[in-house]
Chain A
Amino acid sequence: MESKSIALEHDEDVVVARGEVRTIAAALGFTLLDQTRLATVASELARNVVKYARAGRLIAQPTDSPHGRRGLRLIFEDTGPGIPDIAAAMRDGYSTSKGLGKGLPGSRRLVDEFDIQSAPGRGTKITVVRWL
């Protein structure tokens, strides 16, 4: 299955992102629960892009592990302000916008692999994988 790139700029793009991710996850054979987890991660991280960086994109990439396990990789990238203190941002309850501070730490709990790279002034790139 091919990768798919989704532009993230507006509120509605967040809805599109979680819908597309669910559709791809279903096509890959993920359970309903995993589809829900992946759609929720897509919603949280896509919203962060729109909210904090104003624009960016999501790449949804079906993938295979070296052991032949199928999975779905989601890459969220933006060239926004970046995150100065990543460790703090990954903590439950940390928010610079009076949010619940659940988006990043919660998303990490919903996937098998979670990688975050961010530099102030340069942007943020978050890569997650869930294996089938």
Chain B
Amino acid sequence: MATAQRIPILKVGRVLVVPIQTDMDDQTVVHLQERILSELERTRARGVLIDISLLEMVDSFIGRMLSDIAAMARVMDARTVVVGIQPAVAITLVELGLELTGVATVLNVDEGIKLLREEFGIEERDEEEESCGELSLLGEQINRA
């Protein structure tokens, strides 16, 4: 099994969009967290939108990554929104005793963008969209939004 799975990180306006599309081993989770933070620093994005709608499970390790990203992004003046958590995953997380501290959760990408824009005042400037990962996923991301 591939250990260094590559999760794409896309920049859409001033928001980093991270569609997690496969189950990740712990190393991949740690690596993803580091990459998101360095992309935040590099691009000065103001928001992070993490799409976990395809994740069938969030355990303490992944839950902690989400909280940690939100906390660190906050220090860099960026807000984090987690999108599309499945109902079964959300219920299991509560039973496990995990709150996603500091993480806003919404149902879909549309709502996520709306939240970042309206609540957090993150304007999407008319700048060129830039891909930090693979661009191929961008189309799908926008179609789903």
Contacts and interface: CB of A to CB of B under 8 A. Distances in A.
Given A40-B57, A103-B60, A11 B97 contact: no
A80 B112 CA distance: 44
Interface residues of B, number: 25
Interface stretch (B19-27, B40-48, B115-123, B124-132): B19-27
B1 A16 contact: yes
A47 to B, nearest CB: 7
A18 B57 contact: yes
Given A40-B96, A105-B97, A100 B64 contact: yes
Contacts of B24: 15
Contacts of A105: 97
Contacts, number: 75
Contacts of B63: 100
B135 interface: no
Contacts of B1: 12, 15-16
A33 interface: yes
B28 to A, nearest CB: 8
Contacts of B91: 33, 36
A92 B98 CA distance: 10
A107 B92 CA distance: 10
Interface in B57-98: 57-61, 63-64, 86-89, 91-92, 95-98
Interface of B: 1, 3, 23-27, 56-61, 63-64, 86-89, 91-92, 95-98
